[in-house]
Amino acid sequence: MTALPQDGDRIALHARDVRFDFSALRTDWIPDEPFASHLIDVLHLLLPEGERWFVEVFSQALPMVRDDALAEDVRGFIGQEAMHASSHQGALDHLGEAGIDVTRYVEQVEWIFGELLGERGLSGDEAREWLVERVGLVAAIEHLTAVLGEWILHSPELDAAGADPQMLDMLRWHGAEEVEHRSVAHDLYVHLDGRYLRRIRAMLVTAPALIRLWASGTAQLCARDPGLRGTPARRARVRDYLRASRRGLVPGPMLFTRAMLSYLNPRFHPANHGDTDAAVAYLAVSPAARAAEAEPSSGTAEPTIDTAAEPTIDTAAEPSRSTATAPTADTAAEPRSSTAAAPSSSTAAEHGGAA
């Protein structure tokens, strides 16, 4: 087991019971920029289920942590991610109310996190290995979300374009917390296993899958937006992405390329990437975070975590793999699924398509 680095940026993590009102939100919340708006909206399609999966995986891993400081960080991470899931669920619900039906896409996301990356009915050493594998996947995803968080905190182009302040605050609050807890998933992976090749494999699985999901989600949001019917904007194109990224309205391809290359460094640690001071500074002025701090006793409590119990690993049961199938996709409206190898040698469908 590799020793955890002494991170001078480590701060006490806690969930903020933020509230957002999207009732007046336009579907092009970046005015006259529906493509850029919907590309960022894909977060609302992926994160409610994804963040709940993070919470489940880390809650199972927590009893295996033998470092008090790391255990405290994991608890703070769990609380923050639970609130992220709730907030993005509100934005997803608003998309539905605006007439953008992405039910089938969301069902596919639920299948990925609930079945493909779920429990699998394993026991003993196999269950522990699958848990560590999933922690590695979370660590890879968290590096990318921290990079996104850093980007959104330094995106004055969105303000200049007149982006909706409520949505912008939610994205920056979330981004700031991603930067704030950017080291936790990596530290947990190192504490439980830390093998370099397994860490790299997790990124090599995660990055292409997220690109496909993001492209598919953007294409479906544009195609199903009632306000774009009969317009060229209904069809999402690569050149739309490149144009939006050049204008600073969405993160550009080089940002992710540099992020993935940095992850290949055997000495990589998230503490060396990102600006904790900028994250803390934004959280100090965020309207939603300030309102939450003013009423600390109201709202949703952090998840209850049984730190005494071992992860759900049935040592008596024989290992078995989930036989659940992915939801049937609407092939007329959604990209065709393709077959890919999931981590830990299980064959499954990878959903999505190019925009």
Name residue, tokens 């598919």: 216
Taking residue 31's Cβ as centre, other Cβ atoms within 10 Å add up to 12
pLDDT for the residue numbered 4: 47
pLDDT for the residue numbered 65: 98
**Residue 345 φ then ψ, to 5°:** 65, 20
pLDDT for the residue numbered 316: 37
pLDDT for the residue numbered 9: 54
Cross-strand bridge partners of residue 296: none
d(CA 187, CA 66): 12
**DSSP H or E stretch at residue 338:** strand 338-341
Q: Which residues of the chain have pLDDT under 50?
A: 1-7, 298-355
pLDDT digits (tens, 9 = 90+) for 292-305: 999 855 444 444 44
322: exposed, middle or buried (C-beta count within 10 Å: 0-12, 13-18, 19+)?
A: middle
pLDDT for the residue numbered 296: 53
Domain borders along the chain are 34-350
pLDDT digits (tens, 9 = 90+) for 27-78: 999 999 999 999 999 999 999 999 999 999 999 999 999 999 999 999 999 9
pLDDT for the residue numbered 11: 86
Contact 303, 75 (CB under 8 A): no
Contact 283, 177 (CB under 8 A): yes
Angle at CA of residue 348, ends 342 and 351, nearest 5°: 95
